[in-house]
Amino acid sequence: PEPEPEPMETDAPVESPKAEPAKGKSAKAPKATPAEAEQPKPASQTRSPPAKRRKAETPTAVAETKPTKPAETPSEPKAVAKPTNRGGLTLASIESDSLTKLAAKHWRGDVAGAWDEKVVEKIYADELGGGSRSPNLQRVQLLEISQYLEKYLWPHFDADRASATHVMSVVMMVNEKFREGVSAWTPFRDAPEKFAGFFKRVMRVKSEKRLSLPEKTAHLVFLVRAFSSLEEEMVRAAALPLVSLPLWSTLSEGRLLVELRNNAQLEKHWRYLQKKVAKAAKRAAKENQPPPAALAETPEATWLPELVDDFFTVCEGAVVGDKIDRDAVRFCERFIEFTIDVLSQLPTRRFVRAVLDERQVLVKARMMPLFSHAAGKLYSQLVDLFKFYHSFEIDDHAGTALSDEDVESKHYDRLMMLQRLCFKHIEKLREFSLMHCGAVGKRETLVSYLSKLDETELRRLATDQLRVVDPSDPWVSKPEFLLEALVSSFEKRTSQRRAVNAMPLYPNEDVLWDENVVPSVDYTGETCLALPKLNLQFLTFHDYLLRNFNLFRLEATYEIREDIADVLKRMAPRRGEDGASVRFTGWSRMAVPVEPGALAVTEVKAARVGENKPASVRCEVRVNLGALRGPAREEWDELKQHDVVFLLRAEGAGDGAGASPAERFGLRRARGAEIVEVRDGEGTLLNDFRSRGSDGHAPVGPSGYERTFVLELDAAQYQLDVDRGGSENDVYSSLNVLMRRRPKENNFKSILECIRDLMNADAPVPDWLHDVFLGYGDPAAAQGANMPREQRLATVDFKDTFLDAEHLRECFPDRDVRFATADGTPCDAPVPPFRVAFETNEEEKEGADDENAEKDLQAAKSEDERGSVSKRILRVESYVPPDPGPYPEDQPVLNAVRFTPTQVSAIASGVQPGLTMVVGPPGTGKTDTATQIMHCLYHNEPGQRTLLITHSNAALNDLFQKLMQRDVPARYLLRLGQGERDLDTDLDFSRQGRVNAMLQRRLELLAVVERLATSLGVPEDVAYTCETAGHFWLTHVLARWEKFDAAVAAARARGEAAVAPSFVADSFPFVGFFADAPQPLFSGVDFEADKRKANGCMRHVREVFTELAECRAFELLKNAGDRSNYLLTKQAKVVAMTCTHAALKRKDFLRLGLKYDNLVMEESAQVLEIETFIPMMLQHPLDGRSRLKRVVLIGDHHQLPPVVKNLAFQKYCNMDQSLFARFVRLGNPTIQLNAQGRARPSLAKLYSWRYDALGDLPNTFEKGSAYALANPGFARDAQFVDVQDYSGVGESAPTPHFYQNLGEAEYVVSVYQYMRLLGYPAEKISIITTYRGQKHLIRDVVNARCASHPLFGAPKSVTTVDKFQGQQNDYVLLSLVRTRAVGHIRDVRRLVVAMSRARLGLYVFGRKALFEQCYELSPSLRHLFDGRPDTLALVPTERFDGLRRAADETATNPYLVPDAVAMGHVVNQLALKWQQEQMAAAATPPVVSVASGVSAAAPPPRGRDEDDDLAPDY
**Per-residue pLDDT tens over the stretch 1392-1441:** 999 999 999 999 999 998 898 887 888 999 999 988 889 999 999 999 98
The model's pLDDT over 615-668, given as tens digits with 9 standing for 90+, comes to 999 999 999 998 888 889 989 998 988 899 999 999 887 555 557 788 888 899
Average pLDDT over residues 917-921: 96
- Those residues whose C-beta lies under 8 Å from the C-beta of residue 313, and which sit 6 or more positions away, are none
CA distance 1428 to 1425: 6
What is the per-residue pLDDT for 682?
85
What is the per-residue pLDDT for 764?
84
At 1152, the pLDDT band (50, 70, 90 cuts) reads: very high
CA distance 378 to 514: 11
Report whether pLDDT(21) > 70: no
What is the per-residue pLDDT for 1159?
97
Q: What is the DSSP letter of 989?
A: -
Range from 97-101, 926-930, 1254-1258 carrying the lowest mean pLDDT: 97-101
Name the residue type at position 40: P
Beta bridge partners of 1358: 1327
At 1490, the pLDDT band (50, 70, 90 cuts) reads: low
CA distance 1127 to 1053: 46
CA distance 293 to 7: 64
3-class DSSP assignment, residue 31: coil
More confident residue, 763 or 160: 160
Average pLDDT over residues 586-604: 93
CA distance 1074 to 1008: 11
At 1337, the pLDDT band (50, 70, 90 cuts) reads: very high
What is the per-residue pLDDT for 91?
58
The dihedral sign for the CA sequence 498, 504, 509, 513: positive
Contact 949, 934 (CB under 8 A): no
CA 672 from chain centre, in angstroms, equals: 27
Report whether pLDDT(303) > 50: yes
Average pLDDT over residues 522-543: 89
At 70, the pLDDT band (50, 70, 90 cuts) reads: very low
Sheet containing strand 795-797, edge to edge, reads: 795-797, 834-837, 872-878, 815-820
Percent of the chain with pLDDT strictly greater than 90: 58
The pairing of strands 946-950 and 1158-1161 is parallel
For the residues of 176-245, what is the DSSP string, one character each?
HHHHHTS-SSGGGTT-HHHHHHHHHHHHHHHHHS---HHHHHHHHHHHHHHHT-TTSHHHHHHHGGGGSG
At 170, the pLDDT band (50, 70, 90 cuts) reads: very high
What is the per-residue pLDDT for 180?
85
Report whether pLDDT(338) > 60: yes
Please give the biggest Cα pair distance in the chain: 117
Report whether pLDDT(187) > 60: yes
Report whether pLDDT(848) > 60: no
Report whether pLDDT(1320) > 60: yes
The model's pLDDT over 1025-1058, given as tens digits with 9 standing for 90+, comes to 999 999 999 999 999 999 999 998 888 888 776 6
At 839, the pLDDT band (50, 70, 90 cuts) reads: low
For the residues of 442-508, what is the DSSP string, one character each?
SHHHHHHHHTTS-HHHHHIIIIIIS--S-TT-GGGG-HHHHHHHHHHHHSPPPPHHHHHHTS-SS--
Phi/psi of residue 501, nearest 5 degrees: -65, -30
Query: What is the pLDDT of the chain when averaged over all its residues?
Result: 85
What is the per-residue pLDDT for 521?
66
Report whether pLDDT(38) > 60: no
At 1059, the pLDDT band (50, 70, 90 cuts) reads: low
What is the per-residue pLDDT for 109?
65
Contact 1127, 1103 (CB under 8 A): no
More confident residue, 805 or 630: 805
What is the per-residue pLDDT for 1057?
64
What is the per-residue pLDDT for 19?
35
Q: What is the DSSP letter of 614?
A: B
CA distance 1453 to 1434: 9
Report whether pLDDT(1386) > 60: yes
At 119, the pLDDT band (50, 70, 90 cuts) reads: very high
CA distance 800 to 881: 11
Average pLDDT over residues 35-61: 35
What is the per-residue pLDDT for 220?
96
What is the per-residue pLDDT for 69?
33
CA distance 103 to 124: 14
What is the per-residue pLDDT for 43?
35
Contact 468, 517 (CB under 8 A): no
More confident residue, 92 or 951: 951
The model's pLDDT over 862-872, given as tens digits with 9 standing for 90+, comes to 544 444 456 78
User: CA separation (Å) from 1080 to 21, 1008, 1092?
Assistant: 71, 21, 14
Total-model pTM: 0.87
More confident residue, 901 or 40: 901
Average pLDDT over residues 1274-1292: 93
CA distance 1131 to 1138: 20
Report whether pLDDT(171) > 70: yes
Report whether pLDDT(1020) > 50: yes
What is the per-residue pLDDT for 136?
82
Closest by CA position to 121, among listed 169, 73, 76: 169
The model's pLDDT over 806-822, given as tens digits with 9 standing for 90+, comes to 999 999 999 999 999 98
What is the per-residue pLDDT for 403?
86
Tally the residues of the chain.
Answer: 1514
Range from 224-228, 488-492, 499-503, 1132-1136 carrying the lowest mean pLDDT: 499-503
3-class DSSP assignment, residue 1335: helix
More confident residue, 12 or 240: 240
What is the per-residue pLDDT for 1195?
95
What is the per-residue pLDDT for 264?
84
What is the per-residue pLDDT for 561?
93
Report whether pLDDT(791) > 60: yes
At 593, the pLDDT band (50, 70, 90 cuts) reads: very high
Contact 181, 1387 (CB under 8 A): yes
Percent of the chain with pLDDT strictly greater than 70: 87
What is the per-residue pLDDT for 10?
33
What is the per-residue pLDDT for 1484?
52
* Cis preceding-peptide flag for 214 (omega within 30 of 0): no
